[in-house]
Amino acid sequence: MKRVSVELWRFTAVCINGHEFCFHRFSDFHYGDLTIRTANQSELALVETDDPVFNEVGSIIDELLVAAWGNKNRSDWCFDQVFPIVCDPAPSGLRYSFAEEVRCPVCNSTHLVRYGPGEPPQVDTVELPVVTYNAWQQLSYEEKRGRLRDALRKAGCLP
């Protein structure tokens, strides 16, 4: 997997059981590439928004939404729900998701009593693997459309 260095904010969190830990995310002012996580949180990866796959998936989703609803009002939310099916699994074999909540690495709780960046925010340079789409790219355009349509239905984005 290709790896790139990105600057991320270091967040500090405390879980319901009092464990303090850090995690990284883009600053509130960041535009462009996205981070995506696996369920165990230890694997953060980068989604490059200038990748042709990212743009192709976006336009297929928009087209399917417009065909069904006459608009693409929920496009961003629906994109986040279904984009992970396009990604190859993480090195651990787990799937990526945009929806994964931050999880305490000690007790696995997602119940955080507080979290946030420092004041001022601490910026760390973090090397992240870049998400790949090898399996997806083997599919024909019709297969891609079909899989996205199914995933959008499952997510409640299409009737």
| Residue 105 contacts Zn ion per CB under 5 A | no
Q: Supply the minimum distance, in Å, between the C-beta of residue 116 and Zn ion.
A: 17
Q: Which of 67, 106, 113, 135 binds Zn ion (CB under 5 A)?
A: 106
Enumerate residues 6+ apart whose C-beta is below 8 A from 46.
4, 6, 33, 34, 35, 36, 128, 129, 130, 131
Q: Which amino acid is at 42?
A: S
Q: Return the residues of window 7-66 that contact Zn ion according to CB under 5 A.
A: 15, 17, 19
Stretch binding Zn ion (CB under 5 A), from 23-31, 59-67, 70-78, 97-105: 97-105
Q: Supply the minimum distance, in Å, between the C-beta of residue 59 and Zn ion.
A: 41
Name the DSSP class of 80. Answer: H
Please report how the helices 75-82 and 52-69 are oriented relative to each other, as an axis angle in degrees rounded to 10. Answer: 120
- Contacts with Zn ion by CB under 5 A lie at 15, 17, 19, 104, 106-107, 109
